Amino acid sequence: MKKYILLIIMPALSLGFVSGQQIEKWYPLKSPKTFNSYLYTFEDTLYLNVDKNYQFWYFIKLKGEQEWIKRNFYPGKFCRKDNFLFRYNYEGLSRSNDGGKTWSIINPPIKATDMIATKKAILITNYVWGGRTFIYKSEDNGDTWKEVYTFDYNYAANFFENKGRIFAAGFNQLAYSDDNGETWVTDKNLIDIRTFTAHDNIIFASGHGYLYKSINNGNSWKLIYSPTFSPSCMALVGADLFIAGGNGVFRSNDLGESWEEWNRNLPSIGAQDLILFDGTLYKSGKGLATITENDLSWSIEHVHQELPSSIIDMGQYEDKLYFSVGDYHGGVFYLLGADNELITYSQNLSAYNISTGLLNLSKKGDTTYAHYRSHLAFSTNPQAYWTVEKHNNYIFKVKERNENLIGMSTSILLSGDMGRNWDTTTTKGFKEPYGETCYPAGIDFDMKNDKYFFIRELRNGRGICNDNSVYYSTDPSKSWVLIEEGLPDHFVGKSIAIHDNTVFISGNGIYKTQFENPEFWETVNDTLMVNSIHSINNVLFGLSDFNVYYSDDDGETWNLFGDEQDFGSKLNCFSSDGEVVFIGTESNGAWSNKAITTSVTFNEAEKRTTIPIVQIMPNPGNGLFAIKADNEIESIKVYTFTGQVFNGFIFDTTSGEFNLRMASKGLYFVHVFTIEGPVVLKVVVQ
């Protein structure tokens, strides 16, 4: 197992927080910089678009230059025709006749989401979720437009050009034009195409689960094996074809006939884009890496220290600390081990639409469970592969108690099977929602022995809190008791923590009640506003938007933990192993009160070195398919497009016949578990 040192910083200071001594400074932990990044080239410039929580940055690199230049807005995409430069971004479609110095907005009939310039025209297409997608053409540089093609049904379309032929692809069909977009030929055998790459007359087209190859510039296509179940991007470096998706990057030196993993030296294998520029292949995603035609080994590309790093949550897992990091796809998290190895556990999680950060990590037997708001991921080899299931509950917090799990939604939930199923407890004793637009929401809870404390609020249709109340119960399956005496009229509770024999709540002030007899609240500090409160080794910690406070006298006095520190971002989360205090920020990584040397481990020894080859044919089909695999199939699971388990299928292990005729028409995800590992395929029932 190879280690790569990320950071070496000053020797550690004594902690001192148990005795109440203040620390001298905070240390940036240099947690993984994660962001969504998309690559695009236009003429002599490479663009790196960075998207973090719908805030945009971009960096440019000019051909022949080494340095990246930062810009402060989202550039979109460009094309050039005649003396005009065209651009579309979130502002719409615009053009410039002075090389991009000034721009004027164009108002075509559709909102452009992709465009391409031909010899005689500009073509644009639009993105419509669940609706019809169109192609419009302009031969007078955007002054007038006419509709030239309509997709039967599509939710995305994109353009590609090879040897004068224009391709437009989307979810359920491919179209191409040989006359600058005036007439189109439709091919409905190709579905869900997102990206193309070409080598002379050989074209590769890939999407979510499919990889096609044409040797005659798109006149006919053949479905070929894809080594990644979610191919999102492709690129050619000389005669080497690279394809990438949620489970990594793969290389073929025989134009798609065979594949090998190509993830060594990558700190994060998930890819957003692959693009060749100035003799170098760039891979973007959660970091930027490069290879060249002369050296096909990956190296890390450092773009800019201001790239965002969002830590959503953190917590303890066995002897490790986990970081849940902000990401458009979600699911990504890292572990900091006892020897300060920073290990990624996101091998294939980014391929799933998990839109929230990790709530809790737990382990039972040989299986590790990762709990998200609406998903459960579990694995016996978490550095290699995860199985993901969607559950019906929307959970905001998870804690372990004995061998059971306690969850929080609009009420307290209980699970005895590690989060696969959740039982709802009673709402007896809770305040009733009032008005048609009022709904409940869980805020925070804590428990000790058999007593639970729960902050619950009622919100109106605009999400504004109308009522924020605190309850306790010794049996949440039977009833709850409201504790409101002593709280201000417009109390806004954000966090609750049991500290020895006292219960503390924080929000617009800090208040406490007795654990044994929680009859009323006493004011501790009505001016200190902390978003979360924590009890660690008989010390109370409070996290505000920009500072950390502590109290070692049961809340009587509160002081800054360390000197006032500019963390460069809002504070999101807190954790401690009893010796070191960690905080996570919204956009500036993680920090600790102890200097730590971190290293990152790339799990080469534990990673699967071969990908099982599984094929389902014909695909699309009428529901009766044949499954072929290069090794024994142990089991199969089928999921609908919305993530629900579909049990109405028959698999004959003897003949390999796979019957989905009970399924409605549409897209299904087939998880095939072989003795060499799992494979996820997409199947379309027509």
Interval 648-674: pLDDT, tens: 777 877 677 888 888 888 777 787 877
Per-residue pLDDT, 603: 37
The SS3 call for residue 349 is helix
The pLDDT of 238-263, averaged and rounded, is 85
Per-residue pLDDT, 9: 29
R_g over Cα of the chain: 28
The pLDDT of 262-266, averaged and rounded, is 74
Interval 409-461: pLDDT, tens: 888 999 988 888 888 899 899 988 766 567 788 899 999 988 999 999 887 65
| Higher-confidence position of 47 and 602 | 47
Per-residue pLDDT, 589: 73
Q: What is the pTM of this model?
A: 0.54
| Higher-confidence position of 507 and 207 | 507
- In this structure, are residues 342 and 335 in contact, taking their beta carbons and an 8 Å threshold? yes
Bridge partners of 362? 369
Interval 536-580: pLDDT, tens: 888 999 998 888 999 989 899 998 887 667 776 678 888 887 778
pLDDT at 4 over 50: no
Interval 59-97: pLDDT, tens: 778 888 877 776 655 566 888 998 899 988 766 789 999
Q: What is the mean pLDDT of the chain?
A: 78
> pLDDT class for 346, splitting at 50, 70, 90?
low
The pLDDT of 277-296, averaged and rounded, is 81
DSSP string, 26-42: -EE-------EEEEEEE
Please report, rounded to a whole number, the percentage of residues in the chain having pLDDT higher than 70: 75
Kindly report whether the peptide bond that precedes residue 488 is cis, defined as omega within 30 degrees of 0. Answer: no
Interval 104-130: pLDDT, tens: 989 898 888 889 999 899 999 886 655
d(Cα 206, Cα 115) in Å, to the nearest integer?
Answer: 19
> pLDDT class for 534, splitting at 50, 70, 90?
very high
d(Cα 36, Cα 54) in Å, to the nearest integer?
Answer: 10
The pLDDT of 508-526, averaged and rounded, is 93
Per-residue pLDDT, 16: 43
pLDDT at 20 over 80: no
Distance of CA 305 to the CA centre of its chain: 21
- In this structure, are residues 646 and 610 in contact, taking their beta carbons and an 8 Å threshold? no
Per-residue pLDDT, 632: 78
Domains belonging to the chain, first-starting first, are: 1-34+311-356+562-603 (no CATH), 36-40+102-298 (2.120.10.30), 614-685 (2.60.40)
**Long-range interactions of 183-190: CB distance < 8 A, separation 24+:** 183/148, 184/135, 184/148, 184/149, 187/218, 187/221, 189/221, 190/221
Interval 187-217: pLDDT, tens: 877 777 878 999 888 999 987 667 889 999 9
Per-residue pLDDT, 73: 54
